[in-house]
Structure 1
Amino acid sequence: MKFKNFVTSPRLENNAFLALMITVSLAFAWILQPFFGAVFWGAVIAIIFMPVHAWLLRRWKQRRTLAALVTLLLIVLIVVLPLSLLTGMLVKEGAALYQRLQSGETDFARYFQQVVAVLPTGLHDLLEHFGLTDFKELQARITEAIGRGSQAIASQVYSVGQNALDLVVSFFVMLYLAFFLLRDGMGLSRRLRVAVPLDPEHRHHLSAKFITVIRATVKGNVLVAATQGALGGMAFWYLGIQGALLWAVIMGFLSLLPAIGAALIWLPVAIYFLVTGATWQGVALIAYGVLVIGLVDNVLRPILVGKDTKMPDYLVLISTIGGMAIFGINGFVIGPVIAAMFMAVWDLFATAREEALAEQVAPDAGKAEPPAP
């Protein structure tokens, strides 16, 4: 009898439905896994350009499809085309650098030898102790490293060629998804908020936090990286350093790491200038790197990223580095989003607990003891 009650109970039906919902959700995520990057950036692009789409909707009397198409065209013009042109220029710069390395015009062993030759005796002895002053051996190591790097680059290029169809498919999946998220995003967002079993106030707070962090992180980090890369590239071009565009892009990419970034490139170059007698170039590059390039990171990033996300700088740094270590380039968005949601959830929990404790204390305080007879 009890078994019959159990198999017909609403609790079993609810648990079975919950298990089914979790199972199909995980299966759906598994299906999307090969296109994770395309789906992720399609959603990010839709979130960032949603205000533009909303503005167009107001002007064109809710013509959602037309507004979404125009917004997508703006995305292609503002984001896709400049990135494509920059990629083409980078391929050209990288090929030129590879040819200079092969011909010996660019010889890092010679640069290293010039630096070591002017080092103080104590530091020279320390390098000699570790076997770092044997230039023939160093030349062999560098040549071997360049060979391995060249093979790796060649294999990557071959892999890209072999997987060109996958890249094209992923690219169009991203744009296709962005279009439909722009057109139908508001309705889908409302549907998801209703489906989440949380208090409406909490749902609104968490969804607003999620969108704010994504917009602030992408716009802030990309703007800071582009600014630092451009400033560093202009400095390298002015100082006559070959491959300024390539180094600018590398500095911009490294600038995604807060407080570290571009200095990994311009500081060794400045040190090389100093130890090889180009004193004014070295001093100027250090001053420019600290006062101009570094100032962008120290001033602009907290304003664009930390202010909107209401996250301390150290948490932005740690979550960005951790996110990139786990998720690759996508991690510079995913890391801060997870950190911000962590803070928001625990803040909601602490606030609710404080309110509950205050409600418990209030009735007890209102109960006065009866007067003694």
Structure 2
Amino acid sequence: MKKEPDINTNSAKSTPDELSRKVAETAIRIGVLTLLLFWCFQIVQPFIATIVWGAIIAVAIHPVYRALVDLLRGRRRLAATLLSFGFLVLLLVPTVVLTKLLVENVTTLAEGFHRGQIIIPPPPEGVKGWPVIGDLVARIWSLASTNLSEALKPLQPQIKALGLWLVNVAASAGIGLIMFIFAFIIAGVFLTYSAGSHRLAHGISKRLVGERGDDFANLAEATIRSVARGVLGVAVIQALLAGLGFMVAGVPGAGIWTLLCLISAVVQVGVGPIVIPAIIYVFATGNTLTAVAFLVW
């Protein structure tokens, strides 16, 4: 009599093989997926900060966008394009003017220094009476009024360090400018699809927080706008103070310099890169007392 195969035995023998195969397939899939995610992250990583800034800008200027949409009778894409283009013009035009002015001023200053055309008046008699530093300042000032090159020789390491710092600041400002250009473009895209972006943000918030996801998303939105107003307010105050100093010191094109200070303060670079060349210009061409007062201001 022929013996029938034991079904239970075959199943028991095949089950571990199937499990091993499934585990291997799952491990391979997870590994490939992890590798793809890692590669995608490496590709996107340089743009994460720009995308985040684009989202922040979109949230901050969304009320302006809504008003413009109403003005244009619901043309969302046109409103987003005009708004992004307007901010780009406001950002790029003063930057180009600043770059041109800086190059011209630095070139003029360098040529004047090499030709000996930079004249520094002798120090007033009252400088020696300054406490602690009076004699030192008077001696250096007197030497600079007669031989500027000789007076600057002991300060060459500091001048070199200052030059390197200015170069680093300029490089950082350039990188920041490029980032903000792309951020405004991305903000325009977010604004164009603001309804979908709003639903996506609230959906993610609900997934992370739960029932209070909408409240959390609204709080984040209000916080971004409040911080944006605060940054803008501080930037306006800094620009106004700098502009007042430019006008009192007689810096040519004070209005342009003030606008550049405003933009530089808004992008969190600070007014230093704008004010320092103006101070150097006043020291080189203006009254020393005015220059010192401008420096202190």
Give TM-score, length-normalised by structure 2: 0.57
Aligned residue number for residue 32 of structure 1: 44
Number of paired residues? 254
Structure 2 letter corresponding to 1:149: G
Q: Mapping of 1:249-268 within 5 angstroms?
A: 249-250=260-261, 253=264
Give 1:139's match in structure 2, choosing from 137, 146, 152: 152
Aligned residue number for residue 163 of structure 2: 149
**Per-residue deviation, 1:125:** 6.2
Give 1:49's match in structure 2, choosing from 54, 57, 61: 61
Structure 1 pair 24–226 and aligned structure 2 pair: CA distance change class (3 A):
farther
1:34 & 1:112 partners in 2: Cα distance?
A: 53
Aligned residue number for residue 87 of structure 1: 95
1:114 & 1:27 partners in 2: Cα distance?
A: 67
Give TM-score, length-normalised by structure 1: 0.48
Q: CA-to-partner distance for each residue in 1:142-190, whole Å, 9 max, x for gaps?
A: 5662698289759x78xx7xx9xx95xx677545533331122322332
Structure 2 letter corresponding to 1:198: L
Shifted more, 47-56 versus 85-94: the winner is 47-56
Answer whether contact 2:238 2:262 (CA < 8 A) is retained. yes
Structure 1 pair 137–210 and aligned structure 2 pair: CA distance change class (3 A):
farther
Shifted more, 188-197 versus 43-52: the winner is 188-197
Q: CA-to-partner distance for each residue in 1:262-296, whole Å, 9 max, x for gaps?
A: 8x969xx7xx9xx96669x94x998xx6xxxxxxx
**Percent of aligned pairs with the same amino acid:** 18
Task: Tell me if 1:233 matches 2:243.
Answer: yes
Q: CA-to-partner distance for each residue in 1:53-98, whole Å, 9 max, x for gaps?
A: 444556777x5xx313223212322x21122221122123212321
Answer whether contact 1:100 1:106 (CA < 8 A) is retained. no
1:179 & 1:219 partners in 2: Cα distance?
A: 19
Task: Give unmatched runs, 5+ long, in structure 1.
Answer: 8-12, 290-373
Answer whether contact 2:202 2:213 (CA < 8 A) is retained. yes
Structure number with greater Rg is: 2
Give 1:186's match in structure 2, choosing from 185, 191, 195: 195
Structure 1 letter corresponding to 2:152: Q
**Per-residue deviation, 1:213:** 2.4
Structure 1 pair 276–51 and aligned structure 2 pair: CA distance change class (3 A):
closer
Structure 2 letter corresponding to 1:43: A
Superposed CA RMSD in Å reads 5.5
**Per-residue deviation, 1:37:** 4.7
Task: Tell me if 1:97 matches 2:109.
Answer: no
Structure 1 pair 255–133 and aligned structure 2 pair: CA distance change class (3 A):
farther
1:229 & 1:172 partners in 2: Cα distance?
A: 22
Task: Tell me if 1:76 matches 2:82.
Answer: no
**Per-residue deviation, 1:139:** 0.6
Task: Tell me if 1:202 matches 2:212.
Answer: yes
Structure 1 pair 93–69 and aligned structure 2 pair: CA distance change class (3 A):
same
Task: Give unmatched runs, 5+ long, in structure 2.
Answer: 1-11, 21-25
Q: CA-to-partner distance for each residue in 1:310-343, whole Å, 9 max, x for gaps?
A: xxxxxxxxxxxxxxxxxxxxxxxxxxxxxxxxxx
**Per-residue deviation, 1:201:** 4.2
Aligned residue number for residue 3 of structure 2: none
Structure 1 pair 60–75 and aligned structure 2 pair: CA distance change class (3 A):
closer
Structure 1 pair 23–233 and aligned structure 2 pair: CA distance change class (3 A):
farther
